[in-house]
């Protein structure tokens, strides 16, 4: 099956339809699902929503789900709540690096249960953090569920479960310490 999926992706030149994430894992999964439909009993289609991605630069950026702008366009400004924070990763503290660039944004519906629509993470280990939260978002996690999740200390992903300041509040989103 894996060989058939690989062959199908290769035949298509490794390309996905326009407007789809141009990521190797996405192409592989789409090819695998196609092979399962063609040569097996499956009818599963590729779901291109909430595909996590990361840009592996010196300061990584990862995202999954809707951007703030996409959420507002789909649901209206009055129905979207955005939680955000600047934070200082442990590895920046030891090296005395400027952490003003490390930022997290969680885009949610405003009405309870406040479903999480998107997560955007700028900082160390963004790929790992984004991959972990992608499952929750794909499964319909709410802001309240994320806030009830115990963070692993001291990790970058812990900062996500500590997001308490909304953009709407106008409060300073700079994290000043633990807890």
In which residue are the tokens 């992903």 written? 157
In which residue are the tokens 């405003």 written? 110
CB 133 within 8 A of CB 119: yes
The answer to whether the bond into 113 is cis (omega within 30° of 0) is: yes
Task: Give the whole-angstrom CA distance, residue 89 versus residue 159.
Answer: 9
H or E element that contains 68: helix 68-75
CB 41 within 8 A of CB 114: no
φ/ψ of 90, rounded to 5, equals -55, -45
**Is 153 designated active site?**
yes
CB 52 within 8 A of CB 131: yes
Q: Write out the catalytic residue numbers.
A: 153
């Amino acid at each position: 099956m894996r060989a058939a999926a690989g062959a199908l992706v290769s035949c298509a030149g490794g390309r996905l339809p326009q407007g789809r994430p141009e990521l190797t894992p996405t192409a592989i999964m789409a090819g695998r699902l196609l092979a399962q439909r063609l040569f097996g009993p499956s009818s599963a289609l590729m779901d291109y929503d909430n595909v996590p991605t990361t840009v592996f630069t010196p300061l990584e950026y990862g995202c999954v789900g809707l951007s703030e702008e996409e959420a507002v366009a789909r649901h209206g400004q009055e129905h979207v709540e955005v939680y955000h924070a600047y934070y200082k990763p442990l590895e920046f503290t030891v090296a005395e690096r400027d952490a003003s660039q490390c930022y997290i944004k969680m885009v949610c519906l405003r009405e309870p249960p406040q479903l999480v629509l998107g997560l955007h993470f700028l900082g160390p280990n963004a790929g790992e953090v984004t991959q972990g939260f992608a499952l929750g978002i794909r499964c319909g996690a709410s802001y309240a569920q994320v806030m009830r999740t115990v963070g692993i200390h001291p990790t970058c992903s812990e900062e996500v479960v500590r997001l308490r300041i909304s953009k709407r509040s106008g409060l300073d989103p700079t994290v000043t310490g633990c807890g």
